[in-house]
Amino acid sequence: MKVLVTGGAGYIGSVVCERLREEGHDATVLDDLSQGHREAVPVGTELLETDLRDRRALRASLSGRSFDVVMHFAASSLVGESMKDPGRYFENNVSAGINLLEESRRIGADRFVFSSTAATYGEPERSPITEDFPTIPTNPYGESKLMFERILDWYVRVRDLRYVALRYFNAAGASGTCGEDHDPETHLIPLVLKAAADGGKVHVFGDDYPTPDGTCVRDYIHVLDLADAHLKAMEAMDRGVGGAFNLGNGAGFSVTEVISAAEDVTGRRIRKARAPRRPGDPPTLVASSARAEEALGWKPCREDLPTILESAWRWHREHPRGYGG
């Protein structure tokens, strides 16, 4: 299949590109490199350096090309930033997405795989979270992703589009060559590994939650398992499968558990600093991925925490300054 991968110079998109190539698909990356890295684009994969917000530039970039499927990873994804600058999130995650949907018609792509998020649920009172839980986002980031899911629903109804929205929980780990290099980094696992490497402290935001050790519990899913779900989603759309699917491990680990597992994997002591709770951080977010298992035929197979941490640690050791170093 010919696949256009927006955001393919970013963390998850680059790993998906690698997997697409390994499976014999033809991937082309479209990325403005605002947060991504040229070095993350797999060797031999074409990079169209284009900002999705610029409709004219997008049309020019895609002119004369055709694709079967669009995988749409490109987005702004920082929850805290979205509370300070909501316009940026609605522009990049909604308006730019509409540009892409409209231009997708011109390139013949009628199948769409969208990177959605657990943030569409807001702060659910129970776990595991299934797709029929209420979607009540508590920040503009989650709202922008939910809005785009709803827009996709309308394109299914009024145009001949098929889509799968994958609601990721916490992506983590690395492939052999691609890993996580965000600036700023807000994700726990790379921050913990950085602290292991340079002796800095990890902030633990809240230790009085109603969880077994008082720290927040999250569902960490290996980026290679996420990548496999994208390939399955692409095939499943041909069988008429569509809609939103959770992608998680179905098991939660607390911040304290992640830190102590990282100490085991790295063989180093990791210093912690207590910090107040962050507004909008629910105690526990764990996915039920039963629907993805049934409809996509997908199941995570790298679910234990040490496996995820070891892959990320290996990548960090080989790239101590990320893609720049």
Catalytic residues: 141
193 lines the binding site for ligand NAD (CB under 6 A): no
CB neighbours of residue 207 within 10 Å: 18
Selected binder of ligand NAD within 41, 48, 52, 204 (CB under 6 A): 52
Q: Which of 2, 25, 33, 288 binds ligand NAD (CB under 6 A)?
A: 33
* Strand ordering across the sheet containing 162-168: 46-49, 26-31, 2-6, 69-72, 111-117, 162-168, 243-247
Do 218 and 124 meet the contact criterion of CB atoms below 8 Å apart?
A: no
Which C-beta is closer to ligand NAD: that of 11 or that of 163? Answer: 11
Contact call for residues 21 and 33 (beta carbons, < 8 A):
no
**Binds ligand NAD (CB under 6 A): choice among 4, 12, 164, 193:** 12
Minimum separation from the CB atom of position 223 to ligand NAD (A): 8
Whether residue 320 has a cis bond before it, omega within 30° of 0: no
One-letter amino acid at 208 equals: D
The structure tokens 């930033």 sit at: 81
Smallest distance from ligand NAD to CB 75, Å: 3
Question: Is 9 a binder of ligand NAD (CB under 6 A)?
Answer: yes
Identify which of residues 32 and 207 has a Cβ nearer to ligand NAD in the complex.
Answer: 32
- Pick from 70, 171, 305, 312: which binds ligand NAD (CB under 6 A)? 171
Say whether residue 35 binds ligand NAD (CB under 6 A): yes
Taking CA atoms, 198 is separated from 191, 258, 272, in Å, by: 10, 18, 13
Residues 70-89 that bind ligand NAD (CB under 6 A): 73-75, 77
In the complex with ligand NAD, the residue whose CB is nearer, 187 or 199, is 187
Q: Does 13 bind ligand NAD (CB under 6 A)?
A: yes
Dist CA 65 CA 158 (whole Å): 24
> Is position 186 an interface residue for ligand NAD (rule: CB under 6 A)?
no
Smallest CA-to-CA distance from 208 within 271, 253, 274 is with: 274
Interface with ligand NAD (CB under 6 A), residue from 20, 41, 48, 51? 51
The answer to whether residue 115 forms part of the interface with ligand NAD (CB under 6 A) is yes
Cβ closest to ligand NAD, residue 102 vs residue 268: 102
Sheet holding 217-218, edge to edge: 253-254, 217-218, 284-285
Binds ligand NAD by CB under 6 A, chosen from 21, 53, 302, 314: 53
The C-alpha angle 112, 117, 218, rounded to 5 degrees, equals 145
Scanning residues 198 to 227, which ones bind ligand NAD (CB under 6 A)?
none
Stretches 50-58, 131-139, 292-300, 314-322: which one binds ligand NAD (CB under 6 A)? Answer: 50-58
By CB under 6 A, tell whether 96 contacts ligand NAD. yes
Q: Looking at beta carbons only, is 242 or 322 nearer to ligand NAD?
A: 322
Site string for ligand NAD, 259-298 (x = CB under 6 A): ----------------------------------------
Specify the residue, 21 or 182, whose C-beta has the smaller distance to ligand NAD. 182
The residues binding ligand NAD (CB under 6 A) are 6-7, 9-13, 31-36, 51-53, 73-75, 77, 92, 96, 115, 117, 168, 170-171, 182
